[in-house]
Every structure is written in C-alpha cells, then in structure tokens.
Amino acid sequence: MPTLTIFNSVPSQPTPSNAASPQPDSSHTDRSQAAPSQPPLSQTASSQTGSSKAGSSQTGSSKAGRSRPHRSPQTGLSQTGSSQAGRSPAGASVTGASPAGGGEAERPIPAVLGADLQVPVKGGRLVGYANLDYAASAPCLEPVSAAVTAALPAYSSVHRGAGYASQLTTARYEQARHTVRAFAGARPDDAVIFTRNTTDATNLLAGCLPEGTTTVVFDTEHHASLLPWKKSVRLAPPAFPGEAVRAADQALAAIDGPKLLVVTAASNVTGELWPIAALAHIAHRHGARILVDAAQYVPHRRLNLTALDLDYVAFSGHKLYAPFGAGVLIGRRDWLTDGEPYLKGGGAVRSVGDTTEWHDDPEPRHEAGTPNVLGAIALAAACDALTATGWTALVHEEERLIARLRSGLAAIEGVHELSLWGDDHPRVGIVSFTVSGYTAREVAEILSSEYGIGVRDGKFCAHPFLQHLLGKSDGGCDDDTASAVRASIGIGTTDAHVDRLLEALRNLTTR
C-alpha cells in the first residue's frame, strides 16, 4: 500500500495517476488501518509536553503542549480571506510555543474570517462589526477554512472505498481523530467519538451509562449537562469553590451503585473556572466517574485530560473556531463499548443477518452512517492552530482584554456584572451583566442597531443558574426580567471592540 501523506493545514493535492490505488479497509473493524503509515503529525511531540499539573490548568497558566510549527494557508485560496483586521493586537505576532531544538519563536495569532465585516446601523451608516458573542459560536479561523478548502477536491466516502480519494479522505478523518486526542491530552486508549456538538456528546454518554447510574449535577450547568440523565441528583449553586467540592463529596457518598459527576470546566454564563481536578479526585474517591463539559474551556485554556484525571470530556467545534458541525466525546471505552449504539445503521455493525453483531470498538459503534468528515477536519485544524500559536500568548491577550472590559463595566453606574464566586475568581473571556432600567433584549437590540455590536441576551441555556444569579424564583422563558446580556471575547477581539461596548453602555445609562 502506498503511503498517503496527510497534512493538517493545507495539503498538496494528491496525484492518483502516479500511484497505485490503495487497498480499501473493507472490514471496517480497525479504522487505524486506513491511517497513514507514518506517525500522525499531531503525535510527533508528546501531548504531555509542557502540561500543567492536575488542577493547575484552572489558573490559565498552562503552556502549549506541542511545538509543531503552524502551517500558513497557501496563497491563492480566496475562500480563506486575507484581511489581517482580526489579529489581536493589530498587526501582531506573539511569543508562542518553542520550536523543536530552540528557544521561543514568534507565532502570529491566526486571523478569523469576517474580521472586516461591515454591518448597517441607524442612519444608514456601515460600521465594522464588533463581534462580542464568541461564547455562542466563534468565527472561523483562517487556517480552519484553508484546511477544509484543501480537503474538498479529494472529498469522498470514508472507511469503505477502494478509490484513492476515499482512502485519502479516510486517512484525513482518522488523522483528525489523532489530532483531537493529542489536543485534549487524552490517554492512548481513550475513545474519541465525533459528534455534532457538546449536547450531542453528553446525550451519547447518557445512553451508555450502566443500568441504575445516578448522575450528580449542579444547577449551574448548561442544559446540555443538566437534562440528558435518567436519574440525577441536582445540587444547589455553591457559594464558593470549596463548597462545590464538599457538596459533591456528600452527594456521591450517599449514592449506591454506579455514579457520574457532571460539571463544567468554565461557566457559559459567568466564565468562572471550576475546580475540576479537585472534583475529579472526589469522584474517584467514591468510585464515581466524572464528565467535564469543556465547551467554554478549550477555546481559552489548554486542556489535559490525563493530568486532570478526567474520565470524559465533551466540546464543540463551533465554539473552537471550527463552525462546521462537529463536536467530540473523549473518554474511557468500557461504558461506551457496552452502551447501545447511539445511531443504528451502516458502519456501526460488523454483520447483519438473523442477528446483528455490533462493533465493540466505540468509535465506529457510535458513528453510524457517513460522518461529518469536513467537520472533523475543521475541528482538528483549529486544535492545531491554537496549539501552534501557543497558549501562553493566547491566555495573556485574553486576560488583558477581559480585564479591560470588566474594569470598564465596573465603572458604569447601573451596570451589574453577574458572578457566582466574586470578582477575583479566575475566569475565561465571558462576562454577563444587567443594565438598570432595560431588559436584556432591549440592551442587545440597541447595541446592534446603533453601534454594530453583537452580544447575546437571554438565559444562555442555563435557566436555573440565571434564576439564582438574578434572585428570581420563576424566570420562565417569557420573563424578560430573568435574563442578562453576555459579552464574550476571543481571537479577533480588539481593544476598539471592548471600548465601543463600554462607550455604548455609558451612553445608554445616561439617556
């Protein structure tokens, strides 16, 4: 079988006419057979290099785990865009991951598509869009767009085809799995199952829990973590991080049989970081497992599943600058192997006759049908781009911008930031707030129509948490008073975007 050279950014186009067609992986029982013969690019350096110790990743100080140079998009790909307006700070390169064999290297923070988007405001003017809604969905990184564009000409079916394009696409899809595994710091034997998003991933795991499993979950969680479970114990929002650990300890101690603790790594409402290493320790002490919702964490901080001793993590591509409809569930294989296939159909079975023999490998078992290959390639490209840039640089820039935003909000009379654990608790680039005299929808509409600013308003799929933070006992879907405004930042956010929001809010509160 000829070697298929796979690139995670912009590959050269294959030349099937100069090579014999590879043999297909017709059994579909071992997907690694379709992967390239050389080690995956994402595994050329250990995923643990430079990793933080368990628990320390909550501080935002962890460093890049790999040092593979970032590949720039090839010139001539008009789909990727060439505007540098989204770079933050403007024009810049930053000190990032160390290259192999040397000291620090300058790594540009990659640009996002849409950085030069113009939007209409009242009076008929066009202004540059200030996107402060990254926590809902982040814009696409240019290297992600380039990777998808490069994969399209040879796109074909995966795992079943004998043709060169099918074999190449299969190899790219399985390479994406390796890349995402390394990005998350997963154990070598962890399953990496591509899903649609985090909600899809948590529902998949919910269907694989052993019979009688009790789930312990805080009322601070996103609905994706709050709702999928057949049997659950819900805990009140803790007053401080230590209380979260104590409450989980007590709840798990009182449960017999299989148990699962479900917790976010970073709140989608307040951005506050949760003590996931300590919670994992408590869970394991009681014979429980832990699932971490990392959807709002991985765009902002390096994740190391192994160092944190997590059993399962889930996150979404569309939060991670890869909005092509893919997410992932990563974790221990046994529950996933024993659980019912998430979807039943082609690819999930070994054979069908009078009886059906399902795959016992959880990856094909739970990825029936034609998977979202381009979504997986996009997700892997985002993982590579962030790692190549270097987490030290990304975290430093985000913390600078979020400090600017929060100090500005605190100085505006009538604006109230929402927080569970106080102003000094570490957080990612998410801030939710209310404005006296206005509903959240009114604030969001004014910011959009008059200033060209995009924020999120509502309950952020976290109704119980919003009710707690706002002191509302009901706060149903139609209750505008039980809502807030959320501003969230990421790659492409600039000082000017933050300052425009602050100016708009100052004008609004003095009307």
Cα 155 from Cα 117, distance rounded (Å): 30
Is 477 among the catalytic positions?
no
Give me Rg for the CA atoms of the chain: 23
Between strands 126-128 and 453-454, the pairing is unpaired
* Catalytic annotation, pick one of 140, 208, 383, 461: 461
Q: What angle do CA 450, 453, 459 make, to 5 degrees?
A: 110
Which phi and psi angles does 289 have, rounded to 5°? -115, 165
Residue 21 carries which DSSP code? Answer: P
Cα 361 from Cα 177, distance rounded (Å): 14
Distances in Å between the Cα of 166 and the Cα atoms of 1, 286, 334, 500 are: 14, 47, 30, 49
Cα 319 from Cα 307, distance rounded (Å): 23
Cα 271 from Cα 183, distance rounded (Å): 21
Cα 296 from Cα 416, distance rounded (Å): 22
Cα 505 from Cα 54, distance rounded (Å): 40
What sign does the dihedral 145-150-152-158 (CA atoms) show? negative
Cα 72 from Cα 9, distance rounded (Å): 8
Q: With beta carbons less than 8 A apart as the criterion, state whether 107 and 404 touch.
A: no
Q: With beta carbons less than 8 A apart as the criterion, state whether 383 and 179 touch.
A: yes
Active site amino acids: 461
